[in-house]
Structure 1
Amino acid sequence: MNREQISGIAHAGHPIKAPLDDDSVRGLLGHGAPRGDERLLDLGCGSAEWLLRALAAHPGLHAEGVDVSEQALELARR
């Protein structure tokens, strides 16, 4: 089993690849981008769950995601 498969199993059922529920994610993003026009950099972004949620809540953000997983980046592009 490779690293991506293990990560997929470990994070199954979570809205993002972290043990947080939707309300917690929303609250953290609200505190992290209070003006709504900030620049975000997500290193190890995976399939960009954090960035996509941040952009949905604050369309004026400028977001960059970086990851080594081609599979995760392809999911993010879709």
Structure 2
Amino acid sequence: MTESSQGVTEVSSLTFEQARDELVRVVGELEQGAPTLEQSLALWERGEALAARCEEWLLGAKRRLDDARAHAETDG
């Protein structure tokens, strides 16, 4: 995995499963309550980035399915 200088994996390099699993972890930490407001904000921002990455993967998968269906319809 690629890590930034802060030791946090770059969201853009994560697979869907990696982003989803980390998002679950981040949500759990937020639900428990971070010790400081700054930590809560950092977790929230990370969660937003992870959610966007998951959505990006899902939209890409949907496009691939739509393309496959369209191709199957023109062949059949």
Q: Shorter-chain TM-score category?
A: under 0.3
Identify the structure with bigger relative contact order (alpha carbons < 8 Å, sequence gap 6+): 2
TM superposition score normalised by structure 1:
0.27
TM superposition score normalised by structure 2:
0.27
Q: Which has the larger radius of gyration?
A: 2
Report which of the two has the higher share of strand.
1
Report which of the two has the higher share of helix.
2
